[in-house]
Structure 1
Amino acid sequence: MTESGLYALMLRTAGSMGPTIERALAAGVVLDTWMNGQAEEHITPEAERVLDAATQEWARRAQAARAVFPTYPMPPVYVEAVFNDLLTGTALYVAQQATGTRTVSAAHAGTAVRRLAAFVAAEPDGITAAARYHAVVASHEDLNAVAYYGRMRREDFLWGTLHRPWLDRLLTPEWTVYTQAGVLRTVVDGEGEWVTLTPAGRALLDQLRRTLEAAGEFAWRANAQRWVIFGETDYDRVFDTVFPDSSSSTREWVARLPLPPGAQVLEIGAGTGRVTFELGLADRVAAVGGQLIALEPSAALLSTLKAKRAQRGADHVTLVQGVAEAIPYPADRFDLVLAVAVLHFTEVEQAVAEMTRVTRPGGLVAARNPNPADLLSIPMVATWFRSLRQLAERLQVPLGEKQGVAPGRVEAAFRQAGLVEVQQHRVPLRVTAADPDAFLAFVLKGGAFYQNILARLPIEERWALLELLGRQGRELALHTRPEEQAMVASSSVITGRKPPEPAP
């Protein structure tokens, strides 16, 4: 294939793979590039055998079908790496969702094998779709690293030292394709041999970014990060440290929620159980002889919820794994459905529609969520996060995301879902960075409010930046006054009632 033909194929594929990536993510077939190095991984020997056997079988099929992208033939080591990455990433994801840890058992590995098989069987392009999916994500990691550094030592690129340090092979096959397509080139000077992007490479990288953003792959990375960080952090302490007044005002709000005798209540995104247990929701439901169901997507947080439930003997609380956008209950089931500090992590309109669907006619839907706030209006944080602002300018991306949801959007979602008697008001929300480690853990790791910046950084730069910000924050906290470390933001509290059934 000519250089222009190969480049055109790569550019065309980068622009057309969005729907395939969406389907892969929906099927739970993922590449685990984001979380590598964040949490300890362990794949049991039995799981290794399952994954290795499947890798060999998929590689054999791909070679036989001449299905490997972007060119054929590709070296066997590359083909095996494609399917090893897909299977291992999916197995780690399965383990994280099932147990809240990154320990992969043979059962998790088997689930990953079945997921990949089902995905390939459902795709019009079959096994080629899987290979192209891998190529789009991996190419983004490679080209993005070169773009970030401006130039990389050739040996660092080939070994993946700075951007794919988990590899146990050279990126020679990829390098051959990139140079043949004219997206990377070598520059030699007195300091050595360097890899740089060509104008064609920059155009390809721009298209890869657009595709991954639109397909939700970057958003998936942010959620993967939250699942791990929330599971390994003392989140209750972190939240109460950053938002010191939130618990008392939320407790008062919970105490005022109307509950009929025998109330059936659903809490969306229960997290660590702050609202469920510490702030009195379970006690209120028990007092009226009702039942509380706590819905939470993270297996790690479900484990925390189970421990708290056992400590309190709260048998009337049922814990269920699930997401706000697809509540696993029939329509008209609950007297009250509530979500606290959750909606900004969801597809708001879909989540509110689901909350409304499962609410009984005449029942109440309630939400409490932070409003958008500029955390850089905290003087200490403005100085502290200067490097993030500079990175955003350099990378030409917005500074921050998901730092709350506009109250107008939530109110519109309530009305669009058919709720009536919609009422909304604001309550003050004090935010403090006095404990910089807690602040960093919440806004940059667990909350992933600056994920759109971090996603553009090679993995080694991400961790280096987080370590640097940790040191800078601790130093700044020693030299700033309390009033320079905090701000008053706000939360919105909104309720709406599902219309009662018409009288016969």
Structure 2
Amino acid sequence: MFIFPDLSNELHAMQDAGIVISPWLAGLSSEGRLDAALYSDMSTRAREFAHVHWTEEERVRVLHHFPSPDRIPQIAVHEIVASIAVYLAHERTGQLEVDEPLIEEAMKLVTQFVSEHSFGTLLQLYMLVTSWENQNALKHFGEIPERNFVLGGWHRPWVDYSLGEELMFAALLGNVEVIERDGHRFVRLTEEGEQALERASEMLEQAGYFKQRLQFLRISQFNLYDAYEQVADEIWPDTPQQRKDFVQFVGMHPGMRVLELGCANGPLTFEGGLANAVQPGGHIIAVDPSTGMLARARTKQRSLQIDWIEFMYGRAESLPFDAGSFDMVLGTGFLHFTDLKLSIPEMTRLVRPGGVIGSWHPLKADLNVPFFREWFAPLFELAAKRAERPRDFLIEPNTVNEALVMAGLIRVEERSMPVITMFHDPVKVVNHFIRGVGWFSEELAPLPWKAREDLIEDLIERGKYVCERFTPEERVFRFPGQAIRAKRPIR
């Protein structure tokens, strides 16, 4: 039986090198992310690269006595380069389109990684990730019709090639078997395959791969969510005024140098009154990890002709500014998307002594509300298998307070600012929360593609039924919301 070696160090090195092995990012042909000529050129380069680097010595080192799958090395290079290019496109432009310079940059990253760690290591990492995708789907469904497995329709619909070679190789390794029943053939995991899946899951979890995967999915969803502002105002009708209340609460005044985190497309910056409060004598640097959102914010800025705001890409956990650069560091609706152990110390570092940091964010809510429980029952059922509540990214009460004190901040003040949420339109609500902002993304991330899509469609249909049974007033949900501010002490 073939067993993957411990690749934990290699997984960390992969992430440090900017290598993205994410088949779900590499779905190119169906979305038109590459034109035909560029796609063909990339395929040729991938084939030539694999031919040069997949030597007999590497094959023996990686696969031992097992025969080498003919196309997998070439496909691995193709998918990895495509994944990196799509990821870079999301980071740079917030769009799906991939051009030749992005392909060149991706190829350079792959070449550098191979020169430092070997092609065999790159292939092992690719096989680890894709075998997890395949085996995780088989574990979830129990069995998959052979044709659906080979075409990837249930778990990897973005591929434009047959998974037949992967199936044969997995069967040769003893991880899957093909059975026949009533004239139809099905693929299922063997006991050895379940053990291999468990080992791969542990390795990927410990190396932070799943965390990175979830982060990429969230950012790509935000980038592509063009209807965010319109739908958000329908679902959260009180938030425009609450943002203005928050600006007053933190004590903003003209002339300040301000860092706004998680600015999205500018609902706090513009409509929330932040720009007006700072006025031309001040300066705002507004940061977001979604380049798509930033593009939309800059469009607003041009229409309003406000020149004392600078929009830039960045994450709250690590920012390229000197310590004490700002009079105030703040944001709304962003903190729950960050790693608090990193973001709050970073906010503290960036504000000057005597300056203020502030946030307005939703907190975890009691979801045991009749209409909600009925509408989102599939999520409760997933969580019940672990004897837990559904996983989401919202923050527990007191967590931020404790983190602010731990970071050395003083005069911590908070105000209850509930987030009134209207569950009005099933399609808009489900697409906003599930496909858009990624609420419950941790719950859904382990699901194979088809299972996730089926669940989302089920939520929409259930929502239609719930909207008939419950009045609009019964479908209003109050998330606890916390507005909080604190000062950096003067020493």
TM-score by length of 1: 0.89
Instruction: Give the aligned partner of residue 208 of structure 2.
Output: 216
Looking at structure 2, the residues matched to 185 and 60 of structure 1 have their Cα atoms a distance apart, in angstroms, of 30
Q: Does 1:92 align with 2:61?
A: no
Q: Does 1:281 align with 2:271?
A: no
1:327-375 per-position Cα deviation (integer Å, ceiling 9, x unaligned): 121111000000211111111120111111111111111111111124x
Query: Which of the residues 119, 123, 126 maps onto 1:131?
Result: 123
CA contact (8 A) 1:365 1:495 kept: yes
1:7-34 per-position Cα deviation (integer Å, ceiling 9, x unaligned): xx22xx3xx3334334433433223433
Query: Which of the residues 257, 263, 266 maps onto 1:264?
Result: 257
CA contact (8 A) 1:399 1:450 kept: no
1:69-95 per-position Cα deviation (integer Å, ceiling 9, x unaligned): 445642331110111110111111111
Looking at structure 1, the residues matched to 206 and 232 of structure 2 have their Cα atoms a distance apart, in angstroms, of 31
Offset at residue 111 of structure 1 (A) = 1.4
For 1:138, the aligned partner's letter is T
Query: Which of the residues 459, 462, 484 maps onto 1:494?
Result: 484
Instruction: Give the aligned partner of residue 232 of structure 2.
Output: 239
Offset at residue 421 of structure 1 (A) = 1.8
For 1:92, the aligned partner's letter is V
The structure-2 alpha-carbon separation of the partners of 1:477 and 1:23, relative to structure 1 and needing over 3 Å to count, comes to farther
Once the two structures are superposed, the pairs formed by residues 215-364 of structure 1 within 5 Å of their partners are: 215-230=207-222, 231-259=224-252, 262-286=255-279, 289-364=281-356
The structure-2 alpha-carbon separation of the partners of 1:57 and 1:291, relative to structure 1 and needing over 3 Å to count, comes to same
The structure-2 alpha-carbon separation of the partners of 1:493 and 1:322, relative to structure 1 and needing over 3 Å to count, comes to same
Looking at structure 2, the residues matched to 120 and 467 of structure 1 have their Cα atoms a distance apart, in angstroms, of 42
Looking at structure 1, the residues matched to 389 and 9 of structure 2 have their Cα atoms a distance apart, in angstroms, of 27
For 1:342, the aligned partner's letter is F
SS at structure 1 position matched to 2:137: helix
For 1:58, the aligned partner's letter is F
The structure-2 alpha-carbon separation of the partners of 1:484 and 1:119, relative to structure 1 and needing over 3 Å to count, comes to farther
CA contact (8 A) 1:400 1:449 kept: no
Q: Does 1:422 align with 2:412?
A: yes
Offset at residue 120 of structure 1 (A) = 3.2
Instruction: Give the aligned partner of residue 103 of structure 1.
Output: 97
Offset at residue 245 of structure 1 (A) = 2.0
Looking at structure 2, the residues matched to 312 and 446 of structure 1 have their Cα atoms a distance apart, in angstroms, of 26
1:148-183 per-position Cα deviation (integer Å, ceiling 9, x unaligned): 111122232233232122333332332233223322
The structure-2 alpha-carbon separation of the partners of 1:492 and 1:379, relative to structure 1 and needing over 3 Å to count, comes to same
Q: Which 10-residue stretch deviates more, 232-241 or 261-270?
A: 232-241
Looking at structure 1, the residues matched to 379 and 249 of structure 2 have their Cα atoms a distance apart, in angstroms, of 41
Offset at residue 142 of structure 1 (A) = 0.6
Looking at structure 1, the residues matched to 440 and 427 of structure 2 have their Cα atoms a distance apart, in angstroms, of 16
CA contact (8 A) 2:414 2:483 kept: yes
Offset at residue 127 of structure 1 (A) = 2.3
Looking at structure 2, the residues matched to 495 and 323 of structure 1 have their Cα atoms a distance apart, in angstroms, of 20
Instruction: Give the aligned partner of residue 144 of structure 1.
Output: 136
Q: Which 10-residue stretch deviates more, 70-79 or 158-167?
A: 70-79
Looking at structure 2, the residues matched to 177 and 187 of structure 1 have their Cα atoms a distance apart, in angstroms, of 16
Q: Which 10-residue stretch deviates more, 486-495 or 308-317?
A: 486-495
Q: Does 1:51 align with 2:42?
A: yes
Looking at structure 2, the residues matched to 377 and 434 of structure 1 have their Cα atoms a distance apart, in angstroms, of 18
Instruction: Give the aligned partner of residue 437 of structure 1.
Output: 427
Query: Which of the residues 143, 158, 164 maps onto 1:172?
Result: 164
Offset at residue 99 of structure 1 (A) = 1.3
1:101-147 per-position Cα deviation (integer Å, ceiling 9, x unaligned): 1111001111111222233344xx43223112211110111111111
Offset at residue 262 of structure 1 (A) = 2.4
Looking at structure 2, the residues matched to 483 and 98 of structure 1 have their Cα atoms a distance apart, in angstroms, of 43
CA contact (8 A) 2:362 2:395 kept: yes
For 1:339, the aligned partner's letter is G
For 2:236, the aligned partner's letter is F
1:434-457 per-position Cα deviation (integer Å, ceiling 9, x unaligned): 222232123212232222332232
The structure-2 alpha-carbon separation of the partners of 1:362 and 1:319, relative to structure 1 and needing over 3 Å to count, comes to same
SS at structure 2 position matched to 1:483: helix
TM-score by length of 2: 0.92
Looking at structure 2, the residues matched to 176 and 331 of structure 1 have their Cα atoms a distance apart, in angstroms, of 56
Looking at structure 1, the residues matched to 85 and 410 of structure 2 have their Cα atoms a distance apart, in angstroms, of 44
CA contact (8 A) 2:423 2:477 kept: no
1:272-315 per-position Cα deviation (integer Å, ceiling 9, x unaligned): 1100111100111116x100000111111111011010011110
1:195-240 per-position Cα deviation (integer Å, ceiling 9, x unaligned): 2212221122122223333333333333333333323331112222
Looking at structure 2, the residues matched to 67 and 299 of structure 1 have their Cα atoms a distance apart, in angstroms, of 39
Identity %: 27
Looking at structure 2, the residues matched to 220 and 475 of structure 1 have their Cα atoms a distance apart, in angstroms, of 36
The structure-2 alpha-carbon separation of the partners of 1:371 and 1:49, relative to structure 1 and needing over 3 Å to count, comes to same
Instruction: Give the aligned partner of residue 458 of structure 2.
Output: 468
CA contact (8 A) 1:423 1:494 kept: yes
The structure-2 alpha-carbon separation of the partners of 1:285 and 1:131, relative to structure 1 and needing over 3 Å to count, comes to same
The structure-2 alpha-carbon separation of the partners of 1:354 and 1:256, relative to structure 1 and needing over 3 Å to count, comes to same
SS at structure 2 position matched to 1:200: helix
Query: Which of the residues 350, 365, 386 maps onto 2:357?
Result: 365
Looking at structure 2, the residues matched to 342 and 401 of structure 1 have their Cα atoms a distance apart, in angstroms, of 18
CA contact (8 A) 1:344 1:402 kept: no
Instruction: Give the aligned partner of residue 73 of structure 2.
Output: 79
Looking at structure 2, the residues matched to 246 and 405 of structure 1 have their Cα atoms a distance apart, in angstroms, of 19
* Structure 2 residues not aligned, in runs of 5+: none
For 1:63, the aligned partner's letter is W
Looking at structure 1, the residues matched to 40 and 259 of structure 2 have their Cα atoms a distance apart, in angstroms, of 42
Offset at residue 465 of structure 1 (A) = 2.4
CA contact (8 A) 2:94 2:292 kept: yes
Offset at residue 260 of structure 1 (A) = 5.4
For 1:104, the aligned partner's letter is V
For 1:402, the aligned partner's letter is D
For 1:478, the aligned partner's letter is E
Looking at structure 2, the residues matched to 387 and 401 of structure 1 have their Cα atoms a distance apart, in angstroms, of 13
1:381-433 per-position Cα deviation (integer Å, ceiling 9, x unaligned): 21122122223445x48543334112422122212222122223332222221
Looking at structure 2, the residues matched to 66 and 337 of structure 1 have their Cα atoms a distance apart, in angstroms, of 55
For 1:384, the aligned partner's letter is W
Looking at structure 1, the residues matched to 394 and 321 of structure 2 have their Cα atoms a distance apart, in angstroms, of 27
* Structure 1 residues not aligned, in runs of 5+: none
